[in-house]
Structure 1
Amino acid sequence: MKKALFILTMMMLFLISCGSKSTDGAGAAAAENTAKDESLKVGVVYSTGGLGDNSYNDATKRGLEKAKAELGITYDEYEPKDPNTEAENKLREYAESGDYALIVATGFTMKDALVNVATEFPEQKFVIIDETIEGMPNVASLTFKEHEGSFLAGALAAMMTKSNVVGYVGGAEAPVIQKFEIGFEQGAKYVKPDIKFLPVYIGGTNAFNDPASAKVKAGALIDQGADVIYHASGASGSGVFQAAKDKGIYAIGVDSNQDALVKGTILTSMIKKVDTAVFNSVKEVADGKFEGKVYQYGLKEDGLGITDCEFTKEIIGQENLDKLDEIKGKIVAGEIVVSPTR
Structure 2
Amino acid sequence: MLKLVATAVLMCMPAFAAQAQAIGTGRPITLIVNVPPGGSSDALARLTANALGAKLNQSVIVENVTGAGGLVGAQKFLRAAPDGSTLLFINQSLVILPHLHKKSAYSPTNDVEPIGVVAKVPMVLSVSNPSGIKDLPSFIARMKAYPGKVNFGSGGPGTTAHFAEALFLKQAGVRAQMIQYRGSGPALSDLMAGTIDAVIDQTVTMLPMHAGKRVAAIAVSGSERNAQASDIPTFAEGGLPQFDLAIWNGVVAPKGTPKAVLEKLQSSLAEATAEPAFQAKLQDMGAQGTKASEQGAAHFRQLIAQDAERVESLAKDGVFAAE
TM-score of the two chains, using structure 1 as the length reference:
0.41
Relative contact order: is structure 1 or structure 2 higher (C-alpha 8 Å, sep ≥ 6)? 2
